[in-house]
Amino acid sequence: MGDAVLAFWNAPLDQPDHRERALDAGLALIERVRREDAAFTADGHRSIEIGVAIETGICSVGNFGSERRFDYTAIGSPVNRAARLESTTKKLGIPLVLGPGFAAAASMPVVQAGAFELQGFKGEVPVFTVPEMQAAQQGMSREVESQRGEKSGAPAMVVGSPPSVQMAPLDLTPRTRSIR
């Protein structure tokens, strides 16, 4: 997976709100990096950029590896798709993208931001985001377009129901334990 972080919810215990938890965590991560980046660039360092991809689906979850080293992790198509989707954040200029599995089951509004061919998947895979991310991206695009004198825009499709989830404080307390 390279220089990435894999986080997952709904395992080992059922969490009916796992999509909302994942989205809240992704949005909180982006906001935190933006705040830290402001201080970082003020000190003369290069800007920090991240991309967050969230997907949902059926995966195999458990301890994988060998006697010498193993990890409690998730494997499966949704994990692979999320890893591939992350690269679309750069192409779209949106720091958070959502996979088609997430969009299909979303309890909050999402908009289609584009469709891309992803390595290991047949055909174009639709890529979604939350409206506020697309609005920010379109605002930046309009600014660039006005400077260039160009007009373009990705079609948007609204999926899901009106927002019913409020952002809750994240509990980022580590939940790890040693396995011997």
All structural domains of the chain, each given as residue ranges with its CATH number in brackets, are 18-159 (3.30.70.1230)
> Is 25:53 a contact under the CB 8 Å cutoff?
no
d(CA 32, CA 70): 30
64: part of which helix (H) or strand (E)? strand 60-65
Tell me the HSE value of 39 on the side-chain side, using a 13 A CA sphere: 4
Q: Which two tokens stand for residue 9?
A: 């919810």
Residue 119 carries which side chain, given as an amino acid letter?
A: Q
Question: What is the pTM (predicted TM-score) of this model?
Answer: 0.70
Task: Please tell me the predicted confidence (pLDDT) of residue 71.
Answer: 87
Q: What was the pLDDT predicted at 9?
A: 83
User: Could you read off the pLDDT of 39-72 as tens digits, one per residue?
Assistant: 889 999 999 889 999 999 888 888 898 888 988 8
User: Over the chain, what is the mean pLDDT?
Assistant: 77
Cα–Cα separations (whole angstroms), residue 127 to 27, 40, 62, 89, 145: 17, 30, 28, 10, 22
Dump the DSSP string for 123-165.
Answer: SEEEEEE-HHHHHHHHHHHHHHHHHHT--------EES-S---
Task: Please tell me the predicted confidence (pLDDT) of residue 141.
Answer: 44
pLDDT tens, residue by residue, 99-153: 999 999 888 899 999 999 999 999 999 999 998 887 766 654 444 333 333 333 3
- Amino acid, single-letter form, for residue 20: E
